[in-house]
Amino acid sequence: GDSVTQMEGPVTLSEEAFLTINCTYTATGYPSLFWYVQYPGEGLQLLLKATKADDKGSNKGFEATYRKETTSFHLEKGSVQVSDSAVYFCALTSAPRAGYSTLTFGKGTMLLVSP
């Protein structure tokens, strides 16, 4: 079945440092890939997505490229801020069934950014 593996956290960085959170996946067919973010006390929010190989998703300075050859979708940001402190989830959805898809999530990676 489908699965997502993320690097374990917490990831602790100083403000303005470079961020990478690794994500690899196993899926049938051609999945769509997502990064969700959960800020303290809030619900999950979609951060970015990519729907086919070599697509790059980007939002709020974060980027991730869909790499089919390495089955990866690593999240990067060039300069993190304290406000980026949150839990980040990598997720995928396989080929839709009857027009809908369910998400398979990784375990999440906590990011802590200090001033």
Nearer to other proteins, 4 or 75 (CB): 4
Tell me if 62 contacts other proteins by CB under 8 A.
no
Token look-up 């440092």 returns 17
Alpha carbon distances (Å) from 68 to 58, 71, 109? 18, 5, 22
Other residues' Cβ atoms within 10 Å of the Cβ of residue 53:
12
With CB under 8 A as the contact rule, the residue among 28, 29, 40, 42 that binds other proteins is 42
Residue 18 or 39: the one with the smaller Cβ distance to other proteins is: 39
Q: Which residues lie near other proteins (CB under 8 A)?
A: 4, 36, 41-46, 49, 89, 91, 97-100, 102-108
